[in-house]
Amino acid sequence: MGNKSNYGTEAMALRKFGINETYQLAMYLLDQYRGTILSCRYAVPLYLASAESRTQLEKVVKVAVVDTIMKHPMLQVGMIDATSKTPSWIQLRSLDLTQHIKWLYLGDQADFEHTVQETFRVQLDDRFPDLSAEQPGWKITIIRQGDAPVLEILLTWNHPQFDGAGAKVWHEDFLKILNNAENGAYERAGLDGDILRLPEAPPLLPTPIESLESLPLDFKYLAKSVWEEFRPRFLNRDVSQAAWCPIRTSPYKTQFRAFFLENASLTAILTLCRQNKTTITGLLNGLALIAFALRLDSKAAPAFQSSTIMDHRRNLPPAPPDAPWGSSDRAVSNYVTQLPHRFEMDLVARIRSKLPANSSEETYLSADLQGELWAVSAQNRLEIVRKLEAGLRNDLVGVFKYVTDWQKTMSDMAKKPRLFTWLVTNVGVLNGSTASDQKWSIDRAQFGLSAEIPAAAIEFAPISVAGRGICVSANWADCAVDVKFGERIMADLERWLAQLASHS
Q: Is the predicted pLDDT of residue 16 greater than 60, yes or no?
A: yes
What pLDDT does residue 12 have?
A: 63
Q: State pLDDT tens for residues 260-303.
A: 999 999 999 999 999 999 999 999 999 999 999 999 999 999 99
Q: Which parts of 30-132 fold into alpha helices (H)?
A: 54-71, 112-124
Gap between the Cα atoms of 209 and 217, Å rounded? 15
- Mean pLDDT (the chain, rounded): 92
Dihedral of the CA atoms 299, 300, 303, 309 (nearest 10)? -170
What does the H/E/C string look like for 411-466? HHHCCCCCCCCEEECCCCEECCCCCECCECEEEEEEEEECCCCCCCCEEEEEEEEC
Q: State pLDDT tens for residues 145-154.
A: 999 999 999 9
CA separation (Å) from 449 to 8, 159, 399, 401? 32, 10, 24, 25
Gap between the Cα atoms of 468 and 459, Å rounded? 23
* Least confident span in 14-23, 109-118, 396-405, 493-502: 396-405
Whether 453 and 489 have beta carbons less than 8 Å apart is answered as: no
Gap between the Cα atoms of 490 and 460, Å rounded? 9
What's the mean pLDDT in 472-499? 98
What pLDDT does residue 434 have?
A: 78
Whether 247 and 456 have beta carbons less than 8 Å apart is answered as: no
What pLDDT does residue 87 have?
A: 94
* Least confident span in 7-11, 90-94, 227-231, 496-500: 7-11
What pLDDT does residue 1 have?
A: 39
Assign 132 a pLDDT band (cuts: 50, 70, 90).
confident
Q: Is the predicted pLDDT of residue 495 greater than 80, yes or no?
A: yes
Gap between the Cα atoms of 463 and 217, Å rounded? 32
In CATH, what class is 253-315+333-430+452-502?
Answer: alpha beta
Gap between the Cα atoms of 344 and 495, Å rounded? 25
* Least confident span in 87-101, 218-232, 366-380: 218-232
What pLDDT does residue 10 have?
A: 47
Gap between the Cα atoms of 177 and 37, Å rounded? 21
The domain segmentation of the chain, as residue ranges, is: 4-206, 253-315+333-430+452-502
Please count the CA atoms within 13 angstroms of the CA of 355 that sit on its side-chain side: 26
What's the mean pLDDT in 324-352? 96
Report the share of the chain in percent with pLDDT over 70.
94
In CATH, what class is 4-206?
Answer: alpha beta
Other Cβ atoms less than 10 A from the Cβ of 430: the count is 23
What pLDDT does residue 9 have?
A: 45
Burial class (CB in 10 A: 0-12, 13-18, 19+), 375: middle
CATH topology of 4-206 equal to that of 253-315+333-430+452-502? yes
* Positions of E strands within 267-367: 304-311, 336-343
Gap between the Cα atoms of 278 and 28, Å rounded? 34
Q: State pLDDT tens for residues 146-195.
A: 999 999 999 999 999 999 999 999 999 999 999 998 776 788 989 999 99
Q: Is the predicted pLDDT of residue 42 greater than 50, yes or no?
A: yes
Q: Is the predicted pLDDT of residue 234 greater than 60, yes or no?
A: no
What pLDDT does residue 486 have?
A: 98
Q: For the whole prediction, is pTM greater than 0.75?
A: yes
Q: State pLDDT tens for residues 423-471.
A: 999 999 999 987 777 899 999 999 999 999 999 999 999 999 999 999 9
